[in-house]
Structure 1
Amino acid sequence: MVEQAARRMAEEIVRFAPGGWTRALLSGHAGDGGSGMTGGYTVSGGHGSPDFPELHPLLEQLAEAVHAERGWERIRWEMDCRNTGAYTLVTFTEEIGRILEPAGGYQIELDPSYRLPQAGMRQEAGTAAPAGDPDLATATFRTYLERRAAVLGHQEELPPPVTAAQLDDAERRIGHPLPADLRALYLSADGDGIGYRHRLLIENNAWLSLESLVAEYTEEQEWGTRPWYGWDLEWDAVVFDGTPPDTVRRCGGHPGWIRFATSEDGNYLAVDMAPARDGRPGQVIATGRDYDEGPVYVADSLTSLLQRHVELLEQGSYEVYDGHISLSREDEDPGEVQIIGQIPAEVPPSLQAIHINNATGPVDLAPLTAAPRLRRLHLNRSVAADLAPVRELPVESLRIALDGGDLTPLEAHPHLSSLALDTTAPTDLSPLLTVPNLRGLDLSGCEAVDLTVLVNLPGLRYLALDRQQWAALLDHGKVPPVLAAARLAGADVTYEDALALAARLGLATDGALRVAGRL
């Protein structure tokens, strides 16, 4: 079955090949959750073609055949076809897969269940009292409904309220108390939906019924507080701070965030019961699908948000369409948060991420000290000579090509969690041993004096090295003790190389399926 599926794939790849092709190398995933592929054709003369045939039906057949033989629900695969008619297919579980980066390579998951801790979990907790007032919230809600009725010419029908006992039960089921002003609103109405039609009362969002609130919270905790996009994207991911700073935890999701309204596109309003140092319990935040780089602070309480809604109606800052009122307001400008290109003449203090691309000479990082909230500093096809300015910044994700190899400015850096390092000289890695939160390293472009010092990084979870570096490390029997993922870097490495490395790192790869044939 697997042999037949492989042959059909090879036939389709050859049939689709452009003129003058010499090789086709394609890889991807298949099985439960769908299929995907990347790669392309090599054409004589050194030019490549990224096009490839439509293989999804054949990949479905391959996944079914592998499942029947091995029982794997999801697979990674790689097919190598030559213009001679020869082809090979390798399939294995989803723990090993090719990644798309300029340097290429393969990702190996050694602990598929592990997820990196989010920076917000380490933030200092807020101690202020809630800003919400249940009596004021109830009175403001009545005023808000009266103003809306005056605009629409009729009272809007709302569901009947819930009882205090139902609220108590909901809090027990989610394991968190609701803020007093949100409780008060549910004692006025159980959300704003009648059937499938919502009144979009809260910040132009559908206010969830209490039962839907519990269901959303339960589902979020069951599936995780945020999606996991794979180690190639997550190992150096950063969550930005909100505005005002230090009000909301820098997380993609948190058990203390209770969603109570939705824009019905995967985004939500939530009450935050676990605020950061300068926040207040019960503050309203925006979170969900479009907020992976950080939640957005909306208001210090639902009470304040309702007061703002009344003000907007009184100011005439709204539109009416299809029987709905859409409130209009300008969001607070957080300032320039991210820059792609070069360091500007005047660095905005709001800056949290910068990607410096294609600099013509060594980059002076000193101007960036004017950005006290900088969390991501990436130099792409650019070189810097001095890391000293980084010592003064709360940078968590650093990608840099260093002219030389002096890492002493990074000693004991309290924030740095990921480092991708290229160097032009042999580098002493020992300063990294003092960096307390270092979780990810890409040294595939670094000439290290001694890689074996990495074994003394007890918190290192991700490590990227090239083939020679991995061999040097493993030949000494030295591997960081709690690696959850490894990357074999290099444009010329193969799936077989990745399988061999995974085996040396302790992953059982002897069950990999291999098919070879000729058309």
Structure 2
Amino acid sequence: MSSIHEFTTWEPLLRLLHAQHTERLAAPGGHVSGQISRGGWSVPLRRKPRTPGRASLIEDMQDEYDAVERVRTALADSGLTGISFVTEVSPAGRAVLHLLEPGPAVEPGIGGPHPGSVLLVEDAVAEPWRRLPDPVDGVLPDPAADPAVLERTLRERLPEAIGATEEEIAATEERLGLALPEELRALYRVTRARWEDWDGDHDRAEQVYDAVGCELLPLDRLHVADASSRPCGWRFAAMEAVVTPPDAAVQGVVGSPGWIVFGDSGGGDRLAVDLTPGPRGHTGQIILLSHEENIGADLLAASLTDLVLHGESGEEGGRRRREQPAVAHVNASGVRSVRAAAHPELEVLSIGVWEGEPVSLAPVVGLPRLRTLSAYPGTLADPLEIAKLTGLEYLRLGPEDWRVLLDAGAVPRSLLAAGIEVQGDRHPLPVADLADELLALRDRPRITRTTVESGL
């Protein structure tokens, strides 16, 4: 048995939880739960007040840190990325620990023990991640794009730079499977941006940043920003929609085989040459892919020449628009009714906190593009109306609504993934049972459970 399943691995953490939640655990059905992964953890422990005037330190939570690190070490040893736990402790001090491993068909939950989206079809991705840029006729490079001027300017700014050879550029093109645009070739003929070429001199690296306008990637780290380079869980990915208005400079896709990433903003945003622009864009324009966005990009400059000579243009013509009709949020502060959201182009319908009577889905039955429905618990008048939405790929509901669909055998066959919306302090084990029922419909791998117990 892996050490992650041994009670001694968890005992220090369980003692801390028991000390802080004695009354809660002693109550009928009392439990405490949380989630631990290699990258972080979420456990219900109160920490000491922070000393005013300074940041929190590990010393402020040393007992918690040591107990969690014991579990994280066992996670790494077992090859797991994360695990959820539920503990129940009797008044006599007998502890029962339930461990839940999501497995390959369940995405990790966010900030708690409950499962994320369950994947009903192996390797399926949300519709925006399957979209390629639309062909656009008549787009041309910006008239001011000039590889010769670009190269001459960069040589003046970086007289000591070591440029890439034609063989190195050709090797990069072969690796990427496409020819680099002339401006990009001119850039790397001046500097290949390798750290070893600067002999550890940060000033020389800063000179390149100033000369180009970004943290330039080495030639061997150039890559294509296709959709797979922007991974996103179903809970968020299914709520996106690809929208490219007629006046857009940049297409509103997740990624493109024509987005060649060559730089970084210094804050985690990627800069790319865009070879598949929108209707009002230019071939070879420079775009920024924000690390805070799942989809779309912003226009920075009309060309690489423009970026180097004039800097960022400051335009924001590329990021997709979130308004109707493709995506509608029906809630107390958004769209006021399902009928108002109904539109032939509607793809994503989210029904959130609602102050009125539960709503009917009748107005959106038969819409040709509706693929995502997310409904806050208690907002649907009749969950069985979902069976009439024949094109759904993703469905997120509360446990009670899922129960209605499961008992009626009415879970849509079209679903690729599903989410369970959990509100409040619900016991994680029944929610895991529900997730397993959904997975069983498609014979997908279930959540792995291990129960261990001992005295504290």
TM-score, normalised via structure 1 length: 0.67
- Answering whether residue 5 of structure 2 is matched by residue 73 of structure 1, we say no
Partner of 1:200: 209
* CA distance in 1: counterparts of 2:247 and 2:43, whole angstroms: 40
Give the Cα separation in 2 of the matches to 1:255 and 1:468: 43
Structure-1 residue corresponding to 2:420: 487
TM-superposition CA deviations, 1:87-107 (whole Å, max 9, x none): 432222232755459xx9653
Distance 2:335 2:277 in 1: 42
Instruction: Give percent identity, aligned residues only.
Output: 22
CA distance in 1, matches of 2:411, 2:11: 39
- Count of residue pairs the alignment pairs up: 418
Deviation at residue 156 of structure 1 after TM alignment: 2.7
Which residue in 1 is equivalent to 2:361?
429
Deviation at 1:399, TM superposition (A): 4.1
**Match for residue 397 of structure 2 among 441, 458, 465:** 465
State how far apart, in whole Å, the 1-side matches of 2:116 and 2:178 are: 38
Alpha-carbon distance in 1 for matches of 2:342, 2:305: 46
Report if aligned partners of 1:16, 1:52 keep a CA contact under 8 Å in 2: no
Distance in 2 between residues matched to 1:404 and 1:145, nearest whole Å: 55
Q: 2:15 aligns with which of 11, 17, 21?
A: 11
Whether the 8 Å contact between 1:108 and 1:485 is mirrored in structure 2 is: yes
Picking from 87, 98, 121, the partner of 1:90 is 98
Q: Is the 8 A contact 2:273 2:286 kept in 1?
A: yes
Q: Give the match for residue 49 of structure 2.
A: none
Give the gaps of 5 or more residues in structure 1.
Answer: 42-50, 149-154, 310-328, 336-349, 353-372, 377-392
Offset at residue 174 of structure 1 (A): 0.7
SS at match of 1:90: strand
Instruction: Flag the 1:210–1:250 CA change in 2: closer, same or farther, 3 A.
Output: same
Amino acid aligned to 1:280 = H
Aligned 8 A contact 1:90 1:495 in 2? no
Instruction: State the 1:53 CA deviation.
Output: 8.0
In the alignment, residue 375 of structure 1 is paired with which amino acid?
Answer: R
Deviations 1:370-422 (A, max 9, x none): xxx8515xxxxxxxxxxxxxxxx435251414999963333344144241245
Secondary structure in structure 2 of the residue aligned to 1:445: coil
Classify the secondary structure of the residue corresponding to 1:247.
coil
Unpaired segments of 5 or more residues in structure 2?
47-59
Change (3 A) 1:300 1:21: same
| Equivalent position amino acid for 2:322 in 1 | R
Match of 1:250 in 2: 252
Q: State the shift of 1:296 in Å.
A: 1.8
- Give the aligned CA root-mean-square deviation in angstroms: 4.2
SS of 1:275's equivalent?
coil
The partner residue of 1:115 within 125, 134, 141 is 125
TM-superposed CA distance for 1:271, in Å, is: 0.3
Measure how far apart 1:495 and its partner are: 1.4
Q: TM-score, normalised by structure 2?
A: 0.75
- CA separation in 1, counterparts of 2:332 and 2:220? 53
CA distances 1:96-153 after superposition (whole Å, capped 9, x unpaired): 755459xx9653422474332338936643333432579932134424654x4xxxxx
1:9 & 1:161 partners in 2: Cα distance? Answer: 54
Name the residue aligned to 1:46: none
The CA deviation string for residues 255-312 of structure 1, in whole angstroms up to 9 with x for no partner, is: 3211123345433321011222222221111225355464220122223334426xxx
Cα distance in 1, alignment partners of residues 310 and 334 from structure 2: 53
Instruction: Name 2:271's counterpart in structure 1.
Output: 269
Question: What secondary structure sits across from 2:163 in the alignment?
Answer: coil
1:177-256 map, 5 Å: 177-191=179-193, 194-195=197-198, 196=200, 197-198=204-205, 199-213=208-222, 216-217=223-224, 224-228=228-232, 230-237=233-240, 246-256=248-258
**1:236 and 1:417 in contact (8 A); partners too:** yes
For residues 335 and 249 of structure 2, what CA distance do their matches in structure 1 show?
Answer: 40
Quick check: 1:398 aligned with 2:329? Answer: yes
Q: 1:375 aligns with which of 300, 322, 334?
A: 322
Distance 1:253 1:173, change over 3 A: same
What is the alpha-carbon distance in structure 2 between the residues aligned to residue 513 and residue 501 of structure 1? 17
Q: CA deviation at 1:473?
A: 0.9
| Structure 2 CA distance for partners of 1:252 and 1:183, relative to 1, 3 Å | same
